Amino acid sequence: MESYILSDAESVVARARRGDEAALEALYRAFEVPVYHLARRICRTTEDAEDVLQETFFEVCRSIGRYREEGSLWGWIRTIAASKALMRLRRNKYRDTDELHDELVGQRKEETHLRMDLEAALERLPEVSRAVVWLHDVEGYTHDEIGGMMGKTPSFSKSQLARAHARLRRWLGEEVLA
């Protein structure tokens, strides 16, 4: 990703490590949009996503010296962003209780069209389930990685993903996800 966003990532990282504010600004400008989009997919509100964006780049600035350049710069920043977004979910004490969520969904069912697009279906998922779907299906994280980020087991990630996929199939119809 950074190859077209940041033409000389190694040089920018080296300058950022020396505290060059212009280099830190370049990192922010290069990755603010993808970080925000990742945060927005995991967090329900734009305010939470904006907070995650700021927390992510605060952490990037604070720990750029520990970036080992073993993987891509975007991969490192993406891991920080995903971790910050998941921490925000825990901090806000969002609960992924199927009973409560299904009750709320049942109340909103009359207001919802018979068919909805994938975006709307993803928004209906509980926060933790949506985060697992996004991290696994879109960002490509493994169940081991997701479980580690959430402080849970890989089995937790697998079961959340299976439940989320079942709900999405039910909401969207089998032909959409088949």
Residue ranges of domains in the chain, CATH in brackets: 2-91 (1.10.1740.10), 98-177 (1.10.10.10)
Which residues have C-beta within 8 Å of that of residue 85, sequence separation ≥ 6? 38, 39, 42, 43, 48, 49, 52, 131
- Give the tokens for residue 170: 């039910």
* Predicted confidence (pLDDT) per residue in 49-72, tens digit: 999 999 999 999 999 999 988 888
Instruction: Provide the mean pLDDT of the chain.
Output: 83
DSSP 102: H
* Predicted confidence (pLDDT) per residue in 107-123, tens digit: 455 444 444 577 788 88
* Predicted confidence (pLDDT) per residue in 19-35, tens digit: 999 999 999 999 999 99
- Which residue shows structure tokens 């069912």? 109
